[in-house]
Structure 1
Amino acid sequence: MKLPFQIFHWKLLLLVVPMFCMLSTPSVFAQDDKDDIDDKSEQVIVAGDYEDMAFLAADNLVLSLTSSDDVFAAGGDLIISGASAEHLIAVGGEISANSFTIHDLILAGGEMTFTSGTVQDDIVLAGSEIKLGRSLIIGGSAVLAGNEIEIEAPIGGTLKAVAEEVDLLSNVVGDVELFAETIRIGAGVTIGGDLRYRAENLDMDSTAEVTGTIIKLASDDRPEIFESYGRKMIAFFAIASLVIIGGLLLATAVIAALFPGLLGRTERMMQMKPWQTLGVGALAVIAGPFLLALLMSTVIGIPLALVVGSFYLAAAPLAFAASSYYLGLTGRSLARRGATDNPDTMLGRVGWSLLGLITLIIVGLIPFLGALLWLVAFIFGMGAVIVQIGNHFVRPATLTPTLAQRNMG
């Protein structure tokens, strides 16, 4: 049986996956400094007052804090009890909530149970089973996606839900859009606007009242809220991609103009020792994340981890610039029938480097193969850059004894 929300699975992913990535990444490095989180099997209770943005993570996390700013959280089991915040954005396995006051609430997880509390504005939930108890107050709109959804909480705005089964047992001030296999609207429920739905089975109690119009949607209609989120996320990633590509083009041009010696040495190494260059780059790319995680696990290693991380951030554009320069000169050699000398002018270096990078960008549009080639280019360039930077620091130490011997002679 094809569930209604399966039709829109890619739009739900656009909403949930970026939020999950945003939460899981910083939470690894920004655990709460008021609690010692050594044993992940134990319950970690985060309480107290927070004036700044908070990033929290634990296997079994209880949020009882008071914050005047935003709170980001991730946990295997997540309990929201007595918490207060401007915005709460979180992911978890099993989520339960009671006696909280949140302005806007955005959650993704498995089974979700809301016993009591107040959401002053909007609530957005994506989970397997969602239960909104009658002691929960939602002042704004609700956007819900799951397998089974049970709504007993009154909703002060609009309601939009996608699920296999939806039980609406409370009043809704605004319009309602429901997409499900089975929809049940309980006794005495009042919908202050229109009811738009698509379902094989609609069980609406005779005492339920819809102030507006009841509209049964055709099978090809889509929930407008997810269409909107999908378009916004696609536009966001398109703009972000253009910004990244523009920044990479600018960085490559600047590096080619200011560091001719470094690019010349990396190009010669990539040409003369390609396998050694790839090996060094692969080792750096594979070992780097493990080294950072190891250093971040100790207080003493955190400063060194920041240095190593800064080096990788600085080396990344150098790596792409080196690979782009190599590709550009390879094309130049083919065009000029074997010419192996480096360009004499800054304009030549910049031009051939940008030509190589544009070639990478175009090839990168090929599904799978493009991503693989980008990875190889990054590894190739990183290996050459690391070796040349290492030689820069090692060479003076090896030359000093020779100069001293000459002076003694």
Structure 2
Amino acid sequence: MLEKLRWESGPASIPNAEDILPLIQNAQRELEDCEKRIKDLESRRQSLRGHAKSPAAIRNIPALALSSVCSRWRRTGLSMPRIWSRISVECDSQEDIQTSGDEQLILSLNHFFTRSLPCSLDLTVHIEEDALVHVPPHETYPVLTSLAGHTRRWGSFTYCSEEYNLYALFPGPVTPKFPLLEDLEIIHLGPNRLPWFTDMAPNLKSLRLPGSVFPGAIQSDLQALFDASPNLTLLKIEEVYNSRWGQVPIPVTSSLLKTLCIWHSGNAYANYSSFKFFNLSSLQTLHLEPSHHFGSLHTSSWVNFDPFMAFLQRSSFSLTTLYIQSLALSDSNLVHLLIHVPTLLQLTLIDANVPTEYSPITWQLIESLHAYRASPLRQQALPIVPRLHSLTLNIGARTFEDGVVVDMVRSRGFRETPSLAGDLDRWTVCRNLQ
């Protein structure tokens, strides 16, 4: 058929014109495919050209670097919206912000916004001192404006700036809404920052406030956020509070919070404990972890044990998980604490960065956990934390009396008499030991 079309008479050499129609249709489809390939190649060329002009910090972003290797990797990268959903912006100097790279940065951000659909956004913003000094009042840096335009997609938000309030992000009169926001972290929390999220983030589940000296001027703000956030179940906050504000410790209350993580500072600030400011009746999990400003080895016992016990008794919660790390808590105080949490199921003790003589993990503590024997720290032969089924001991000492641990575990592993301690099928209480 094609040979006849090439003859001098052309289409006239084919008596039935309908025989030519399939050839024309195939040719049309091939032309359309070629045009599509040309457009794809042109788009790819422009993308690579823009990528080459971008600052190195932008080019090295994993999602952009992955999609720039080859066409196959590009297709793979574009098929995974989650890798485009993590965005971190750092405003570190006036000179950097005033460069012409802003347009390329905004262009790259737009790529992330589009390619991450339909995922929510995990956003981190860090603004250093004097970074926005050239921005006129009631205005904002264009890159931050671009981020603020997508608050309805924010799923996680971390904000760090000691100098700039959230007005740096939201200078306009319209209050932003955060319908998807579940995780909020504000480093160095200052006044008038939490109210931005009160009543505007109905799905908020986690609030982390590292480096924030509680309560300062945020006590009422935190209570308002608790009251307006029915899904807020996790709070992480520093142990130390700022005494300069002189507040009467009226506890912040919540009947919904399930997990509390306190970043402790060891023995540096006696009687300045944020435990005075909480009443959490539904708490189930409590973590005592070293602060971000945690120093070297502590050389005395935890000075805020009494405010902590007052918090525990005031809240009257049924604690099931207790995690204590790098805290110079005496073994006698720890036993006293455990007596007051009979509902405990999981206990983790890590004595890293605590001198051996101040570690809570001692043979007297282990003896006190024995199911049917008294100890120097517990005169009655009644088991403490009777429901305990998971115990993790991370001990920094070079040597330890392992036999005491074995006896304790064997005693708690059986509901029968001590003579049954050799029957491995009767382990019912302490199911996990590390």
Give the TM-score normalised by structure 2.
0.28
Task: State the structure with more CA Rg.
Answer: 2
Instruction: Return the structure number with greater helix share.
Output: 1
Q: Which has the higher contact order (CA 8 A, sep 6+)?
A: 1
Instruction: Return the structure number with greater strand share.
Output: 1
